[in-house]
Amino acid sequence: MSIHIRGKITAEDISRYLDSIELARLDRAFFEWMHQAKRPDTKLSRMRIRMIFILVRYTGGKLSEVLSINPSSDIDSEHKVIVFPQSKAAPGRPGREVPVPENVFAALKPMMADRDFTVFLKKSGLSVDPGFVRRKFYERARACAIEKERASPEAIRKSRIAELMMNNLPLPAIQSLMGLSTPGRTAAQVHFSEDDTRQVIRLFMEKEAYRKTSARNAFFGKIKRITKGDIQSVVELSTMSSETVSTVITNGSLARLGLVEGKIIAAEVKAPWVILHKTAKEPACSAENRFSGTVTRIRRGEINTEYVIRISDETELCAIVNTDRIGILDIREQDSVWAVFNANAVVLHLD
């Protein structure tokens, strides 16, 4: 099963796409290749190809979209967005802004500050023969032992989608980023406007660039209810895929964060705090957050074993269990399980 970018996006098996480590390795190959150029004109040409790679890799844009960008006006470092112009092939379809992580502009800044390169871009822009671009992508893939089929511009676009899905960016937000039609949201518990979707995307991009926690699981959504007590408050977050996540925070933290119903926020849960129950019925336990799902991947280590549980089409949870306990759990891939965690295990983050 592959990731479908026409209509609804699914990802039952993403092994054919590049993961974040492989994408970083490929970027390093482009970086080294750029600096190995012996002639100034060759270096400028290679800088342009690396820029194209960075834009495809982080925007998930089609190659034709990226090649239509005017770097001097469409790379907006102030607002942290890449602007895709209106397509000449589809004049009725408007252009769009794609937020990207801050580290993208850190990578582009030295190139944009190079006077010779800016002159070079003003003359020729990113208008390059698509076949030539693909050949250079294949060459860099071979240089770092990656199959060329997994390093085409189209495959890298899908790898970005897979990366976003693995990090639990909601499906409507992914489709908005990719310029795809979004599914109906009539089943959602809380309404998400286009502005809400943009806020979710922005929050995700900021966390992707400056991730300072070791939490494996992240939920992005809107506060649907706050129940205030004398010392602590219960905050309920509703995601775009209709999951509800509950957390308990002090009233002081509630005031300090300025949390109110309707606010866009992210919730994180460390994988060791997720407990698995192999049972068909909802487990009788005190954990406020309980999700049924299917085990899609198991990675066994000497000390710990990682279980990945798909709880909806676009949301996965990761649980870490001591390897010496896996025999007691007797959980295998494709088993139905319940993943649970306490409200006190949830940490909230604002942009």
Q: In order of start, what are the domains of the chain with their CATH numbers?
A: 20-166 (1.10.443.10), 194-269 (2.40.50.100), 271-341 (2.40.50.100)
Measured distance CA(259)–CA(262) in Å, rounded: 9
Q: What is the pLDDT of residues 157-179, one digit of tens each?
A: 989 988 888 777 888 888 888 88
Segment 95-124 shows an average pLDDT of 89
Cα(32)–Cα(14) distance, integer angstroms? 28
17 has a pLDDT exceeding 50: yes
What backbone phi and psi angles, to 5 degrees, belong to 306? -100, 130
The half-sphere exposure of 247 on its side-chain side, counting CA atoms within 13 A, is: 21
User: Of the ranges 139-143, 215-219, 270-274, which one carries the lowest mean pLDDT score?
Assistant: 215-219
Whole-prediction pTM = 0.67
Write down the pLDDT at residue 325.
Answer: 86
Q: What angle do CA 345, 203, 306 make, to 5 degrees?
A: 45
Spatial separation of the C-alpha atoms in residues 76 and 274, rounded to whole Å: 40
Query: What is the arithmetic mean of pLDDT over 300-322?
Result: 89
Which percentage of the chain shows pLDDT scores above 70? 87
Number of other residues whose CB lies within 10 A of the CB of residue 351: 13
Q: 19 pLDDT band (50/70/90 cuts)?
A: confident
pLDDT in tens, 245-278: 999 999 999 999 899 998 888 899 999 999 999 9
